[in-house]
Amino acid sequence: MVSMRKKTILVACGTGIATSTVVTEKILEAAKKENLDVNIIQCKVSEIKSYAEDADFIVTTTILKDSFGKKSINALPLITGIGEEQVLKEIIEEIKK
């Protein structure tokens, strides 16, 4: 079996403690269901710059002005529940890349 490289996801929100915590848990849960192992770095949007280099992609709950050359996915649907499944699918696909 070909094993994928373990991906690192940067999960960010305004304060780095509230919505990003919920998003992190939902990603971990979804990844576990797919038997995927991931690293997650949780931070404030203002700290993305210092972590972006180590990340494969970025997930945020706010609009991101600069994603430092990384793909970014808006995960606010994981908070509002509107369009949640589709976003989780997109994140899982990105982990599998």
Partner 1 sequence: MKLTEFFHKELIVTNLQANNKEEVFEVLFNKLLENGYVKESFLEGIMTREKNFPTGLLLNGNNVAIPHTDPEHVLKPAIAVATLSKPVVFKNMANPQEDVNVNIVFMIALNAAHSQVELLQRLVEMIQNENLLEEILKAKGGDEVVKIIESYQTLEKE
Give 31's contacts (C-beta < 8 A, 6+ positions apart): 37, 38, 92, 95
Q: List beta partners, residue 43.
A: 12
Using the minimum distance from each CB to partner 1, give the nearer residue, 36 or 79.
79
Q: Which stretch binds partner 1 (CB under 8 A): 8-16, 31-39, 48-56, 86-94?
A: 8-16
Question: Is residue 43 annotated as a catalytic residue, yes or no?
Answer: no
Place of tokens 């994928």: 4
Q: Is 94 in the site for partner 1 (CB under 8 A)?
A: no
DSSP state of 81: -
State in angstroms the smallest separation of the CB of 22 from partner 1: 5
Which residues from 16-75 bind partner 1, rule CB under 8 A?
16-19, 21-22, 25, 42, 45, 61-63, 74
User: In this structure, what are the phi and psi dihedrals at residue 13, rounded to the nearest 5 degrees?
Assistant: -145, 180
DSSP state of 5: P
Contacts with partner 1, residue ranges (CB under 8 A)? 13-19, 21-22, 25, 42, 45, 61-63, 74, 76, 79-82
